[in-house]
Structures are given as C-alpha cells and as structure tokens.
Structure 1
Amino acid sequence: MPTPLEAVRLADPYPGYAVLVAERPFAFDPGLNAWVAADAAAVRAVLDSRALRVRPAAEPVPAGITGTAAGEVFGDLVRMTDGGLQRRLKGVVVKALGEVDPAHAARLAAGQTRAVLAEGGDVPFEELMFAVPARVVAALCGLDADGSAEAARLTGEFVQCIPALATPEQQRTAALAAARLRELLGPGVEDPDAAGNGLLAALVRAAREDSWTGTAPLLANAVGFLSQTYDATAGLIGNTLLALTREETPKTAEALEAFVREVVRHDAPVQNTRRFAAEPFRHGTAEVAPGEQVLVLLAAANRDRAVNPEPHAFRPGREDPVVFTFGAGAHRCPGEELAVAIATAVVGTLLDRGHHPERPADLTYRPLPNARIPVL
C-alpha cells in the first residue's frame, strides 16, 4: 500500500485516505517515523494546537540555507514561524491581503492568460499554471511587466529550497533567487508611496497601524505572497482542468467559481503539511512526545463524512463545506480568495477561448511530497 506521501502522486489517492480516516484516524506510522492525522477531528486538533510547531525546534531554518538570503526570508515567513511575533505579523499579512480586490486580480489573470494564448501554438499549461499566477501577484505588488515576469521565474527557483529533500544546488539557486526577489520588492516596502495602492503599500500600512517597525520581516512576507501562490495555485488550476474532463462544464462565471471551490475540497492542491511537537500533545489515547512529528493529511480530512456529507461526490455549491486545504488555526493560509479568483479567471479564459481540456492518457503528477500538481 502506498504511503501517504506517495499517495499525493497517485491517479486516485482517495480510497487509501478513506481507509486511514475510517481505521487509523490518528496513528503512528513506523515507515514514515511520524504520527499521521487523517480524519477531520485529528487534523483540526493538530492544526489548532500550540504544542505543535511548523518547524523542528532544533532547526527553525533548513541547515542548507542558514545564513543565506533564502534562509533569512524563510526564517521570517509567517508560514514558517510560531509564537507571539508570528501571530502579530500574521495579522499584518492578513490585513494587507484583505485589501486585495479579487475581481481586480481576476482581471489581471484573464489578461495574462489571453496574452499567453495569443502567442499561438499548443496551450502552454505549465506557464498558465505557474507563471501566470505569480505574475499576477507580482503585478499586485507593483512590479511592471518585465519585473513581474522576472519575479515569476525567481519564485520558481526560490520555492525549491522549501522541501526537506532539496539538493545543495537547489538551495544555492534559491538563495540567489531570494536575494534578487528582495531587490525587486524592496522599493515597494521601503517606500510604499512608490508602490501606489498595491499589495506592498497595504502591507506597510497594516504594519504601521500595528506599530510594526521591522522592514526585513515585511520584505520576507512580500516574497511569501509570491512563494505561497506558486505551487498551490498551479495545483488548483491543474486539478480544475482535470475535473472539467469528467464533470459537466459550468455555464456561468458564478458556477465556475463554485466548481473551483469544490476542487479545493475534492482534489486538494495541497494534500498534506507537517507539525513538530515542542511539547507533549494528546489526541484521544495517543500521545505525541516532544521531538516527534505529525503528518497532517488535509486532503483526507476534506473527505471525512463526519464533516462533509457524501464526501466523495463532486458537488459544487455545497452548503457550508468544511475545507482544510488552506489549513486552520494560527497558520491558516490567508490567500484562499486570491487563489480561487486567479484559478477561476485562468480556467474561464481558457474555456472562453475554446480550449476545453482533455485528460492525458498517461497522467502523471509532479514528484512533490505535499502539492498535487498534474503534468499537463
């Protein structure tokens, strides 16, 4: 039986997840040397616990990037840190993202998609899935067309340092990319008036309102706007295109948005995350000791019938669905609305231009431990 990490790349990982939800909702996996949280109750408990951290206590920054620009950015990301300062900075980030108009982001994404398709030839799915969302966020940050294109490329290089299995070469490349991303985004953080009314100006305004004075963490999380968009939105676009090969095509923009939101739950672009015990953590009769880790199966919990009736049915417009794809608790990703807006616009523009997706005969997924991204 495939491990939960291998399941991310399977054509259909969900029967295996269902077995875990039913039979081993929270259990230790010797092969992974980790506890595995599978059902909604366990996943919620893990994500809400302050005893569990997003990084090992002994290695807050991966050893291979410590002391580099990538390590400095990584160490200040609200996604990768815990504690009172993280919660405060997270509030600043959430407030800034709350000022982004999803309709404006959708218009940018549609325009970028039309420009890509106008070049002719086969549909460049990789560019639409990865580069277009990153360019949109870069544009929201105030970068011009050339700067947005460069930022999209650099983001792809920076995110290579995040997986635990990143190679030394990937870490070196990520360090160079992080340094250049800080150069591109720095003026918008250091002089927000130059960035107009964009996302970076909103970030600085939110920081000032909270009396936050440090510039480096703001700049790191400006890079985070790009990096957190990258794999998650690519997976959402790709999995939506695959869903369209087996489900009825939505007839309206509103129906397409509901379709995308159901993809978020039904075939999550981010399938799992990890937590590391800094203190003892109990769930039911199980106790996680300090130093142990928990693999959190977000995609499995999305399909737990205890929180979502008929969880394996693809049903856009579900009433009050419970969705863990973007996390929960202190580290819930605040970019869900932005990701949905961008993915809906990219897919909608493809459909409007007559590009109806076909399921690949030899469908494969990128070899990533947590992001489910089809190769199209």
Structure 2
Amino acid sequence: MTTVIEAVRLPDPYPYYATLVAERPLAFDAGLGAWVACDAAAVRAVLAADRLRVRPAAEPVPGGIVGTPAGDVFGDLVRMTDGPLQQRLKSVVVEALGHLDPAHTARLAAERTRECLAAGGRPPYEELMFAVPARVVAALCGLDRGLDAEAARLTGDFVQCIPASAGPEQYRAASRAAARLRELLGPGIEKGEDGTGLLAELVRAAQRASWPRTAALLANAVGFLSQTFDATAGLLGNSLLALARGVEPPATRAAAEALVREVARHDAPVQNTRRFAAEPFRHEGAEIAPGEPVLVVLAAANRDPAVNPDPHAFRPGRQNPAVFTFGAAAHRCPGESLAVTVAAAVLTELLTAGAVLAKLPAQPTYRPLANARIPVL
C-alpha cells in the first residue's frame, strides 16, 4: 500500500493524492503516526494556525547538531522558527530579497548555465539543477568566481542536516559546511550598508527594522543558499520533464516563467511539509492534540478542484491559481520569485543551446527524499 511519503517518488503520485483530497482531507494516519492534511481548506487552515509550529516544542533544533555551527544556523533560520521575533526577522529577509533585480539574476543564471554547457556533450543536468542555482545566489551574496562554486558544494553538505533521517555523518558534514559558509558570507555582513548586493540589502533592511542580532542575519544568509538548493533543483528538473513529455517550449522569458510557475503547482518540487501542535487544534471535526505532528501535503492541495479548476491539466498562465508549494501565511517562502527566475533562465539557456530534452528518461527515478520531488536526470 502506498504511503504519503512513498508517493513523493512515484512516477505519478497525483491519482493517489486526488483520492486523499476527496476521501481523507484531514485524517490521522496510524502508519505514519501523524495527521495528514490534503485538501486546500485543511492545508490553508494548518499553515495559518498559530497553534501549529514548524518544529517540535521539545526539539527546536535537531539533537545531532545542537551546539554546533550547523545547529547555530538552524536555530536562527526564519524557515525553522516561529513567533513575533521570527516574523520581525522574516520581514527583514523579505525586504532584502525584494531589492533583487530579476534581470540581473537571470543574467547570472544564464552565464553559469553556459559555463556548464561549454564542455559540450550531454548537458550535466545534476550540476545545472543543484549547483547553478546555488552559485547564482552565492554571486548575489557577493562571492566571486570560485567561491560561488565552493559555496554551492558546501550548501549541498549543509542541507543534509535538515531531513529527519539525517545521522551522525550528515550532521558532521553539515556542521563543517555551516562553519565555512559563515566564514565566506561573514565579510559581506560586516561591510554593512557600505557593501553591495544581497547581503548589503539584508543589513540595510535590518537597520531599518532596528534588528540587533548579526548572527541571525548571517544564519539567514546561509538560508538564502540552503533554501535554494533542493527546491530549485526539483523545480528545474520537473520543468525539464514537462518539456520532455510534450509541453510546448516557451518562446520568451515571460513564457518560461509562466511554465515554471505552472510546474510548481502541477508537479511540485516540495510535495509536503510538517507542523507540530503546540496547543489543541481543531478543523472540520478533526481534533489534533498537543505534541501530535501534521504532514501537510502541499502537492495534493495544488490539485484540489475546489481551488484550481481542471487541476490535472497543465496550463501555464492560469488566472490566479492556488499554489501551496511555497507555503502560506507566516512561513510562506520569500524566495519564490528568485527560484522561478533562476529556473526559467536555466531552462531558456538550455533550449537556446539546443538541448534535446526528448532524450530525458520518460520514467525517471526520484531522489530518496521524504518531501522533495527531484528527478534523477
């Protein structure tokens, strides 16, 4: 029998999700030991609930990295914290990202893509999916050529501490990576408002908000890289598969971005996320007790016909689609536009270079992750 976690790696999990939306919109799954929220109404309610937190109350930081550089970074990420301080810091992060120039970001992504393709032969899809987006964000943070590639490698090591399945080896690698990333990014924070680029914007936004803690700014500079990594890799990989399966190639940058946004809804790179009840929570007859976890199936809600007409049709340019892939409410991802810009620019450059996407596997395997849908190309 398929589980919600296994569904992430199925060739087509969406019929299964549709059944859950219709029959079990918010229900307890004894096998998982968690509540599972699937339809749009339940997902919205869970993501908006102050009584539900992003981390268990007893373990705000994974035990394996407490007291390490990785734990210090993890504990300050706006993605992994809740409450008034989190919202204050998130407003700083959102403001900083809002100053990015999409055209400049797209140019960086195109340049890094051309570098990857320069050797000729089959496109190095893994490098394009993972390294290029991280290198673009590193460049936006002021890291020069060479350092951007190092930052991308380190980011791959750091994100190993985030899954619940992480063990001692992953924790050690993540801590080494976090320490080095702070060394690389620290000077950009220290330059303050006199600097340039994304880190200078982060410092200026913090000053306007009277935010006092430099360590939290540095942690979220690492967060710019880590949140880019798996999510953008899945977004680009699933966009490539959509084209390989016959979706009309985009003729303009705007069309490429529309395609990528529809991929984010139709074949979400982040399929689920989790919440943990700090206080009792009720929705439509379901009663979730303190301490109980909730698996929030974003990809199922994206295909809920109650919010997206004809939800299984791939239709770029939908009018006001409901897209849960980037979250909602206090934890809505502030990097949505950045991810779309980078993925669309890489996709456009690949098509311009004449990549034959029809040669991609019709039924790819997917990385063995519990929440991210990333094809192996």
TM-score by length of 2: 0.98
> Which residue number in structure 2 is paired with residue 214 of structure 1?
213
> Which residue number in structure 2 is paired with residue 363 of structure 1?
364
Superposed CA offset, 1:46-75 (max 9, x none): 000000000000000000000100000000
User: Which one-letter code corresponds to 1:243 in the other structure?
Assistant: A
> Which residue number in structure 2 is paired with residue 286 of structure 1?
286
> Which residue number in structure 2 is paired with residue 15 of structure 1?
15
Kept in 1, the 8 Å contact 2:193–2:201? The answer is no
Superposed CA offset, 1:304-337 (max 9, x none): 0000000000001101100000000100000010
Question: Separation in 2 of the partners of 1:178 and 1:368?
Answer: 21
Question: Separation in 2 of the partners of 1:61 and 1:297?
Answer: 23
Q: How does 1:163-312 map to 2 (within 5 A)?
A: 163-193=163-193, 195-196=195-196, 198-246=197-245, 247-312=247-312
Question: Separation in 2 of the partners of 1:193 and 1:92?
Answer: 14
How far did residue 93 of structure 1 move? 0.4
Kept in 1, the 8 Å contact 2:70–2:179? The answer is yes
Question: Separation in 1 of the partners of 2:79 and 2:218?
Answer: 14
Equivalent position SS for 1:145 = coil
Kept in 1, the 8 Å contact 2:193–2:203? The answer is no
Kept in 2, the 8 Å contact 1:187–1:194? The answer is no
Question: Separation in 2 of the partners of 1:353 and 1:23?
Answer: 46
How far did residue 251 of structure 1 move? 2.4
User: Which one-letter code corresponds to 2:101 in the other structure?
Assistant: D
> Which residue number in structure 2 is paired with residue 115 of structure 1?
115
> Which residue number in structure 1 is paired with residue 75 of structure 2?
75
Question: Separation in 2 of the partners of 1:341 and 1:29?
Answer: 37
Question: Separation in 1 of the partners of 2:75 and 2:346?
Answer: 32
Superposed CA offset, 1:155-209 (max 9, x none): 000000000010110100000000000000001111135632x000000000000
Which consecutive segments of 4 or more residues in structure 1 shift more than 6 A? none
How far did residue 361 of structure 1 move? 4.9
Question: Separation in 1 of the partners of 2:261 and 2:179?
Answer: 35
Question: Separation in 1 of the partners of 2:53 and 2:215?
Answer: 22
Kept in 1, the 8 Å contact 2:11–2:363? The answer is no
User: Which one-letter code corresponds to 2:228 in the other structure?
Assistant: T
User: Which one-letter code corresponds to 2:8 in the other structure?
Assistant: V
5+ residue gaps, structure 1:
none
User: Which one-letter code corresponds to 2:73 in the other structure?
Assistant: V
Question: Separation in 2 of the partners of 1:356 and 1:201?
Answer: 40
Question: Separation in 2 of the partners of 1:287 and 1:84?
Answer: 26
5+ residue gaps, structure 2:
none
> Which residue number in structure 1 is paired with residue 125 of structure 2?
125
Kept in 1, the 8 Å contact 2:250–2:256? The answer is yes
Question: Separation in 2 of the partners of 1:194 and 1:177?
Answer: 27
User: Which one-letter code corresponds to 1:236 in the other structure?
Assistant: L
TM-score by length of 1: 0.98
